[in-house]
């Protein structure tokens, strides 16, 4: 009983550490030749949006550029996340949790 509780605590600690590490990572997606930029952290939270004054006049174009920049930022940060997981020894929280449940 106590060993399972310790395993859950260890797993929770690993997940928290990973979340903190990913929160420090930033990826930037751009669109419209750099006129729209979206910065996203490793927890997939948008932390900044930069919009050039030139694209403010065309609302539909601006909406499209924001979507494109956001999608690019997501793709980039997902690559960073995959790399971080690999660097942490292939940490697979889902399989570790499943193994604990079998015991």
Segment 35-58 mean pLDDT:
95
30 or 84, which is more confident?
30
Model confidence at 67: pLDDT above 50: yes
Q: What is the pLDDT of residues 74-90, one digit of tens each?
A: 999 999 988 888 777 65
Contacts with 48 (C-beta within 8 Å, 6 or more apart), sequence order: 37, 38, 39
pLDDT band at 100 (very low <50, low <70, confident <90, very high): very low
DSSP per residue over the chain, as a string? -HHHHHHHHHHHHHHHHHHHHHHH-EEEEEETTTTEEEEEETTS-EEEEEE-GGGTT-HHHHHHHHHHHHHHHHHHHHHHHHHHHHHTTS--HHHHHHHHHH-
What share of the chain in percent tops pLDDT 70?
83
CATH 1.10.357.10 fits 23-102, yes or no: no
Global pTM reads 0.73
């Amino acid at each position: 009983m106590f060993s399972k509780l310790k395993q859950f605590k260890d797993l929770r600690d690993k997940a928290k550490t990973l979340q903190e590490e990913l929160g420090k990572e930033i990826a930037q997606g751009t669109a419209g030749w750099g006129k729209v930029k979206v910065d996203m952290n490793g927890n997939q939270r948008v932390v900044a949006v930069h919009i050039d004054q030139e694209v403010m006049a065309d609302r539909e174009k601006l909406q499209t550029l924001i979507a494109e920049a956001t999608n690019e930022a997501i793709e980039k940060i997902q690559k960073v996340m995959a790399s971080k997981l690999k660097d942490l020894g292939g940490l697979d929280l889902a399989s570790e949790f499943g193994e604990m449940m079998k015991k």
